[in-house]
Structure 1
Amino acid sequence: MKFDEVKEELLRNKKTWLVTGVAGFIGSNLAEALLKLNQKVIGLDNFSTGYQHNIEDIKNNVTSQQWRSFSFTEGDIKDYETCYEITKGVDIILHQAALGSVPRSINDPITSNLSNVTGFLNMLTAAKNNGVKRFVYASSSSVYGDSMELPKVEERTGNLLSPYAVTKMTNELYGGVFYKTYGLETIGIRYFNVFGKRQNPNGAYAAVIPKWLSSLINNEDVFINGDGETSRDFTYIENVIQSNILCGTTTTKEAYGEVFNGGIGGRLTLNKLYSSISRELKENLENFVTKEPVYREFRAGDIRHSNANIDKLKKATQYEPTHDIDMGLHESIKWYIENLKQVSE
């Protein structure tokens, strides 16, 4: 497997990686994985949606020697000087910092644009000015908009349905231009409903899997938007770690300036997801009682179906997902049962 070869190579050769949004769900998992490969990791976060306890959790999961290769700066990508200082001496950037959530962007498009477009451009420009070699960034499956085609193919998108989708499409346009104009090796990954440990279950913009897990573990009602037949390509965090590291290290020049689907190439309806979660919890929690979900209105700006064609990413990087949704749910549920109090604080 290509990823195993890359990990062996990284263990032999230390590089300097910058992970923005490092106190968040995806960023903290990326930083932990890199530290375990004995890499030097610089982290940046402003704690707008990230948490100090995620940083502490990284520390608890790596050796003391690996932890010494981590440095953290509290700062905001909306400030160019912060971006410029943090990118000095960096080999590879994994840019995760953003304000996520379609509903959040609909409620407050200006703030989403400041982080996701202005902040993104600041990071790109700082990377270019400091001679950073590789810039891997998080895009989103929301850029497919109202396209009915399944599975989703990178070159064919529909009409955008939310300000959040506009910001991510803008990132992709800037990424392509910065490669063509300045030679910065940009690669975008369109995330498809990522889930796993450390994903926050609280707040109005919480993702569906941690929110449902928290509600069911606490015997609270679970709400499904629409009829439950909406489907998603739920992608476990380990697959996202693999795609980022492969994109960060690939020598395939055809990948530069491009964007790739980062999913597993399948899809599950919300109704089936609810059944799977309930079944897993019943097997792992004593006295767990299955309850019926509560259905409510469809959510504004939501895509009806999402399913990634991952052939392009496979061809460019030899990406091969290691965890299907059932494996990911099994690992996630074990983690949430043990850590729900911590992640909810």
Structure 2
Amino acid sequence: MILVTGGLGMIGAHTARALVDLGHEVVVTAHRRAGVPSFLAGKVAVEPLDVTDRDAFLALADRHDIGDIVHLAGSIPGENPVDYFRADTTGLLNALDAARTWGVRRFVVAGSLGVYLGRTEIPWHEELALPAAESPHPIIAFKKAVEPLTLDGLRGTGVQPVVLRIGSVWGPLMDPESPFNPMMPYLNAVLRGERPAPRYAGDGGDSCYAPDAGRAIALLTTAPALRHRIYNVSSGRRTTNRDLAAALEAIVPGLRLELRPGAGGDPYLDITRLTADTGFTPAFDIAAAVADYVAWRAANPR
């Protein structure tokens, strides 16, 4: 059985779905979010768990035979970043403790493309040395720390660590007004019948539809062998505002979105390593992703 912490969040739920589709038994943990997405109903075991509770975390093994861990649980920083660092570091350390105690095969953990900020090379790939630049947000600062904590925390064990440098993921279950992805407020303004403010046509950058991200993580979790410990997870291509506007105009009758001329050299993730080791290729281009998301939102609030 595979444990997915934070398995009712956007990335976690799509990862759990992909694991089930691959034929695996899955248990997901839930803390703040209790509703099970329709595509997971009856297909996974759900365990209420605050990952900062070490005893409760380790007690999961009393009820489930867990062979792999995908640690995606996380929180959002409040006014005091120290509280956020304390909570998410404790959750990570408890997950690592569980991996060591249970002797799992593989420990997969969420990092971020934000670790590359400061590198000017495009696309970003795993061989780049990480810059010592100041992090623009506490989440990115923590995700930088995730990598050495995980790799050193499992050193000398039989547990294989896999750090995911996850790109800009969007799709079903994401907050429609999320401040972490500018695509979401723009897209959802259109769904409300509003006309969003014009954007520069060539701006954009990394983008990955959530079902694709979940499938990539599932493949990295279940692959018979992996040659690396760090993998970029995304679509492997740049998505521009021009691409997004065209996808929306193709499915919303009469819609014409205003774009300003201009192009940005926005970064995106190279996924050559991911594809080589798992065979992953995205199932959704931006047009298919937008069409799928609009159909999902017709029956779901987020």
TM over 0.5: yes
Matched, 1:235 2:235: no
Whether the 8 Å contact between 1:192 and 1:306 is mirrored in structure 2 is no
Deviations along 1:227-263, whole A, 9 cap, x unmatched?
Answer: 67543221122321222122112233533xx111111
1:93 aligned partner: 69
1:196 aligns with 2:178: no
Q: 1:78/1:221 Cα in 2 relative to 1: closer, same or farther (>3 Å)? A: farther
Q: 1 or 2, which has the higher helix percentage?
A: 1
Contact 1:20 1:45 in 2 (8 A): yes
Please give the secondary structure, in 2, of the residue aligned with 1:238.
helix
The correspondence for 2:192, drawn from 213, 218, 242, is: 218
| 2:288 partner SS | helix
Unaligned runs of 5+ in 1: 1-15, 61-66, 295-303
1:125 to 94, 97, 100: 97
**1:77 equivalent among 51, 55, 59:** 51
**Residues 208, 40 of structure 1: alpha-carbon distance in 2 compared, 3 angstrom cutoff:** same
Which of 116, 119, 123 aligns to 1:144? It is 116
Instruction: Tell me: CA distance 1:274–1:319, structure 2 relative to 1, closer, same or farther (3 Å).
Output: closer
Percentage identity across aligned positions?
Answer: 22
The one-character-per-residue Cα deviations of 1:46-89 (angstroms, maximum 9, x if unpaired) are: 11xx351xx141345xxxxxx2x622122211111222122552
CA distance in 1, matches of 2:19, 2:223: 16
Which deviates more from structure 2 when the two are superposed, residues 259-268 or residues 324-333? 324-333
Q: TM-score, normalised on structure 2?
A: 0.85
Q: Do the aligned partners of residues 327 and 167 (structure 1) sit closer, same or farther apart at CA in structure 2, a change above 3 Å counting?
A: same
Distance in 2 (CA, whole Å) between partners of 1:209 and 1:174 is 32
* RMSD of aligned Cα (Å): 2.8
Structure 2, unmatched stretches of 5+, are none
3-state DSSP of counterpart to 1:118? helix
The 1:274–1:127 alpha-carbon spacing in structure 2 relative to 1, beyond 3 Å, is same
Query: Do residues 134 (structure 1) and 109 (structure 2) align?
Result: no
Q: In the alignment, is residue 276 of structure 1 matched against residue 246 of structure 2?
A: yes
Determine the C-alpha separation between the residues in 2 that align with 1:273 and 1:188: 30
Matched residues in 2 for 1:207 and 1:252: separation?
Answer: 33
Specify the code of the residue in structure 2 equivalent to 1:57. S
Q: Deviations over 1:8-66 (max 9, x none)?
A: xxxxxxxx01111112111112222333444321110211xx351xx141345xxxxxx
Note if 1:18 corresponds to 2:3. Answer: yes
Question: In 2 relative to 1, CA 57–275 (structure 1 residues): closer, same or farther, beyond 3 Å?
Answer: same
TM-score (norm 1): 0.75
Q: State how far apart, in whole Å, the 1-side matches of 2:244 and 2:226 are.
A: 41
How far has the Cα of 1:140 moved from its partner?
A: 0.9
Question: Residue 243 of structure 2 contacts residue 286 of structure 2 at CA under 8 Å; is this kept in 1?
Answer: no
